[in-house]
Amino acid sequence: EAQVTQNPRYLITVTGKKLTVTCSQNMNHEYMSWYRQDPGLGLRQIYYSMNVEVTDKGDVPEGYKVSRKEKRNFPLILESPSPNQTSLYFCASSLATGVLNTAFFGQGTRLTVV
Amino acid sequence: QQQVKQSPQSLIVQKGGIPIINCAYENTAFDYFPWYQQFPGKGPALLIAIRPDVSEKKEGRFTISFNKSAKQFSLHIMDSQPGDSATYFCAASRELGKLIFGQGTTLQVKP
């Protein structure tokens, strides 16, 4: 089954404690991205990757890091989480950008930073 | 110029009603306009999409209307059902560009 898998689904952590949210896709997609969803703000892109070892900032990259060492995996790293990073996070993948970009989303990770 | 503005933020209709969700954009270079549907606890999923060379696209009970001159597009749900209750996101992109999402509309269809 074609899917994007995120882990964990729920996470409560304390300010400053480094964490990683994993994302894996089995569709051989080149393009992967991370979004955060906040009420009234919609989906905002954090980082994206056009291919292995190619990553770039989205609209709200501050406080986040990513890496793309393998095509299927695109982890999101919060080196020093803060309460304003409490949000619902989604990983997405697509075959390409632009007009072929039907984005397939993971189930989401609800992060709470206290 | 990269923004997509979506309204209303929330919408409640009775079963059988026709909810309409509107989106407006600024960037005339956008050439792909999808709508995503998100059920509680799930990630968004593509519902329907339109290119600017057509003014309307229908898939089942879902219709996108597109007004290129006004830079607006909308989603209509005919004969809405309680199972359509979800959050809907419009989006826009240009070729080789990223998706820009609207703010989302939470729809509740009452039985």
pLDDT tens-digit profile of A35-84?
999 988 999 999 999 889 999 999 999 999 999 999 999 999 999 999 99
Residues in chain B with CB shorter than 8 Å from the CB of A104 are 45
Identify the three-state secondary structure at position A83. Answer: helix
User: At A102, is the pLDDT very low, low, confident or very high (cuts 50, 70, 90)?
Assistant: confident
User: CB–CB of B93 and A99 under 8 A?
Assistant: yes
Distance CA B111, CA B106 (A): 16
> What is the DSSP secondary structure assignment for residue A103, as one 8-state letter?
P
Question: Is B93 in Cβ contact with A101 (below 8 Å)?
Answer: yes
**Where does residue B65 rank: exposed (0-12), middle (13-18), buried (19+ CB within 10 A)?**
middle
Q: Which residues of B touch A48 (CB under 8 A)?
A: 98
pLDDT class of B2 with cuts at 50, 70, 90? low
A113 in B contact zone (CB under 8 Å) = no
Does A63 contact B at CB distance below 8 Å? no
Mean pLDDT of B73-100: 91
CA distances from A63 to A8, A45, A75, B110 (A): 19, 13, 14, 41
Pairing of strands A19-25, B100-101: unpaired
- Sign of the C-alpha dihedral computed for residues B93, B99, B100 and B104 taken in this order: positive
Q: Which residues of B touch A58 (CB under 8 A)?
A: 98
| Residue B15: Cβ within 10 Å count | 13
Asked if omega into B111 is within 30° of 0 (cis), the reply is no
**Average confidence (pLDDT) over B22-31:** 92
User: What is the interface size between A and B, counted as CB pairs within 8 Å?
Assistant: 63
Determine the residue of chain B that is closest to A10 in CA distance.
B41
Supply the Cα-derived Rg of chain A in whole angstroms: 13
User: Per-residue pLDDT averaged across A22-39, rounded?
Assistant: 94
CA distances from B36 to A11, A34, A51, B44, B97 (A): 25, 16, 24, 6, 17
Let me know: does A16 contact A27? Beta carbons within 8 Å. no
Q: Which residues of chain A make contact with B43, given a CB cutoff of 8 A?
A: 4, 90, 92, 105-108
Higher pLDDT residue, B1 or B98?
Answer: B98
Q: Is the pLDDT of residue B105 over 60?
A: yes
Mean pLDDT across chain B: 93
Cβ proximity of B23 and B104 under 8 Å: no
Per CB-CB distance under 8 Å, the chain A contacts of B103 are 40-42
A114 touches chain B (CB under 8 A): no
pLDDT the model gives residue A97: 62
Query: To which H or E segment does residue B12 belong?
Result: strand B10-14
pLDDT score recorded for residue B11: 97
Cβ–Cβ of A105/B43 closer than 8 Å? Answer: yes
